[in-house]
Amino acid sequence: MPDFRVHLATPPAPDATEILLPTAETHHLVNVNRARPGDPVLAFDGRGAEWSCRLDRVEGKKSAALRIDSVATRPPLPCALMLGQGLPKGGVMDDIVRQATEIGAVLIAPLATTRSEVHLDADRADKKLEKWRVAAVEAAKQCGNPFLPEISPPGPLATFLAAPAVAAAELKLVASLHPGAKPLRAVLADFRAARGGRAPRSAAWLIGPEGDLTAEEVAAALAAGWTPVTLGPLVLRCDTAAAYALAALRCETTD
């Protein structure tokens, strides 16, 4: 895989032979990463398409041209992972977005839960959403993920639980510290036993903010068909819990 990767918000035409990069991608490729003409560059659209290119020329500080050598489409990972995350304080959500992108989540939903200490008005929510999407692009470049996650605007838990893709997930798991929560390996064993040994093709995690979800929020998830799962005997930070939960399930669903 080339060391240099660029994201294309607008993919080139099918018969295109070159790609003209916008200012931001040019700056990151040439000024930050110090790519030079002739260097291999991999361009991706965040939906699985990748263009193997060479940096052809740099036109001032605002534009660079890539010469297309070939194009390919990567398949998605075997299990579509989704994350509903209670909004944490400060910049913790930025880190969660980066880590979830690196693990290959297809959906990240920031949730305004009861114990979330962050309350965003419309303007701040829009700015945060744009920042998270930039963080996802940066993480995808770094790790080689050709798919960008959908990041939904911050919203209530009820909206997340009722979202069609989430409601249709084969596994719906809520991280829980309460008695009766099952180990992930037991939940997966039950799933495989009921489906001829195969792993789930889609799964959703629900993770609380600092202070966790309330009993009422957990009850709402259970009423919607979610399964309480323990992440072990230790109390984890919400960003650690999100990365741990997603990574554990990714490991269990990847050959």
Interval 124-143: pLDDT, tens: 889 999 999 999 999 999 99
Please tell me the distance from the alpha carbon of residue 108 to that of residue 57, in angstroms, as a whole number. Answer: 37
Would you state the structure tokens that stand for residue 138, as one six-digit string?
Answer: 């940066």
Three-state secondary structure call for residue 161: helix
Residue 125's pLDDT is what? 86
Quick one: 87 and 144 in the same domain?
yes
Q: Which of 26, 54, 73 is at the close of a domain?
A: 73
Quick one: 233 and 160 in the same domain?
yes
Quick one: 58 and 87 in the same domain?
no
Quick one: 57 and 157 in the same domain?
no
pLDDT reading at 2 higher than 80: no
Q: Which of 23, 39, 73 is at the close of a domain?
A: 73
Please tell me the distance from the alpha carbon of residue 229 to that of residue 115, in angstroms, as a whole number. Answer: 20
Question: What average pLDDT score do residues 18-31 get?
Answer: 94
* Residue 205: φ, ψ to 5°: -110, 145
Spell out the residues 6+ positions from residue 20 whose beta carbon is closer than 8 angstroms to its own: 63, 64, 65, 66
Question: What average pLDDT score do residues 223-252 get?
Answer: 96
Residue 239's pLDDT is what? 96
Residue 254's pLDDT is what? 86
Please tell me the distance from the alpha carbon of residue 84 to that of residue 106, in angstroms, as a whole number. Answer: 11
Question: With bands split at pLDDT 50, 70 and 90, how would you rate the model's confidence at 123?
Answer: confident
Residue range(s) defining the domain that contains residue 66? 4-73
Q: Where are the alpha helices (DSSP H) in 147-232?
A: 157-162, 164-167, 184-194, 215-223
Please tell me the distance from the alpha carbon of residue 175 to that of residue 228, in angstroms, as a whole number. Answer: 6
101: domain CATH number?
3.40.1280.10
Question: With bands split at pLDDT 50, 70 and 90, how would you rate the model's confidence at 148?
Answer: very high
Quick one: 57 and 155 in the same domain?
no
Q: Which of 35, 51, 73 is at the close of a domain?
A: 73
> Which helix (H) or strand (E) segment is 248 a member of?
helix 238-253
Please tell me the distance from the alpha carbon of residue 124 to that of residue 154, in angstroms, as a whole number. Answer: 10
pLDDT, tens digit, for every residue of 94-108?
999 999 999 999 999
Question: With bands split at pLDDT 50, 70 and 90, how would you rate the model's confidence at 119?
Answer: confident
Quick one: 102 and 223 in the same domain?
yes
Spell out the residues 6+ positions from residue 123 whose beta carbon is closer than 8 angstroms to its own: none
pLDDT reading at 1 higher than 60: no
Q: What is the mean pLDDT of the chain?
A: 94
Question: What average pLDDT score do residues 44-55 get?
Answer: 97
Question: What average pLDDT score do residues 170-189 get?
Answer: 94
> Which helix (H) or strand (E) segment is 207 a member of?
strand 202-207
- Let me know: does 55 contact 39? Beta carbons within 8 Å: yes
Quick one: 190 and 215 in the same domain?
yes
Quick one: 65 and 91 in the same domain?
no
pLDDT reading at 177 higher than 90: no
Residue 37's pLDDT is what? 95
Quick one: 63 and 89 in the same domain?
no
Write b or e for each residue in 77-109: b if 16 or more Cβ atoms lie within 10 A of its Cβ, otherwise e: bebbbbbbbbbbeeebbbbbbbbbbbbbbbbbb
The CB density around residue 131, as the number of other CB atoms within 10 Å, is 14
Residue 12's pLDDT is what? 95
- Let me know: does 136 contact 151? Beta carbons within 8 Å: yes
Question: With bands split at pLDDT 50, 70 and 90, how would you rate the model's confidence at 180?
Answer: confident
Question: With bands split at pLDDT 50, 70 and 90, how would you rate the model's confidence at 18?
Answer: very high
CA distance between the termini of the chain: 21
Quick one: 25 and 123 in the same domain?
no
Considering only residues 40 and 60, tell me which one the structure prediction assigns the higher pLDDT.
Answer: 40
Number of compact structural domains in the chain: 2
Quick one: 216 and 150 in the same domain?
yes
23: domain CATH number?
2.40.240.20
Q: Cα-atom radius of gyration of the chain, to the nearest Å?
A: 20
Please tell me the distance from the alpha carbon of residue 43 to that of residue 50, in angstroms, as a whole number. Answer: 6
Quick one: 13 and 97 in the same domain?
no
Residue 209's pLDDT is what? 95
pLDDT reading at 211 higher than 70: yes
If you ran DSSP here, which 8-state letter would residue 76 be given? P
